[in-house]
Structure 1
Amino acid sequence: MNPVTLQKPDDILTFLADISLKGAGFTSDCLLDYVLEEGFTEPIFLNASGEDADAFYRGAPNAWALYQVREWKRVLTISGGTGRARRVQITETP
């Protein structure tokens, strides 16, 4: 998958609605639901890169392996990849 960078909240939320994550570690039927549950209601930046056979975009496999979602000082990072357990980390930047 080609890397994706988005900087408009509506585009980011629409993109996340089409992502589902299966496999080992963190999973989600709809990544948007998880992002909203964590309080990222108006994200200002999204970066997606890499490739993961257990990640799906609009139902098709081999979506992105790394997702970074920023909302002001908070950053949500979801990392994984084929053969690796997926992890989630939320950090606050200074």
Structure 2
Amino acid sequence: MKPITIQDSDQILNFLAEVALRGKGFTTDCLLDYVLDEGFTEPIYLNASGEDPDAFYKDQPQAWAIYQVREWKRVLTVSGGAGKERRVQITETP
């Protein structure tokens, strides 16, 4: 998958609604649900890159391996990839 950057809240939420993560480590049937549960209700930036055979976009395998969602000073990062255990981290930038 080619890297993608989105800077519109509605487009970001629509994009995340189509992402499912399976495999080892952090998994979810809908990445949007997790992002909303963590309080990212109006994200301003999304970057997705890399390839992961256990990540799905619109039910198609081989979606992105790394997702970064920013809402002002908070950043949610999901990282994984082929053969790696997926993990999620939330940080706050100064």
Partner in structure 2 of residue 8 of structure 1: 8
Instruction: Work out the CA distance in 2 between the residues paired with 1:89 and 1:56.
Output: 20
Q: Does 2:54 correspond to 1:54?
A: yes
Partner in structure 1 of residue 92 of structure 2: 92
How big is each residue's C-alpha offset from its partner over 1:43-67, in whole Å with a ceiling of 9 and x where there is no partner? 0000000000000000000000000
Unaligned stretches of 5+ residues in structure 2: none
User: Normalised by the size of structure 2, how large is the TM-score?
Assistant: 1.00
Indicate the SS of the match to 1:81.
Answer: coil
Instruction: Work out the CA distance in 1 between the residues paired with 2:90 and 2:84.
Output: 19
Q: Does 2:79 correspond to 1:72?
A: no
User: Normalised by the size of structure 1, how large is the TM-score?
Assistant: 1.00
The one-letter code matched in structure 2 to 1:91 is T
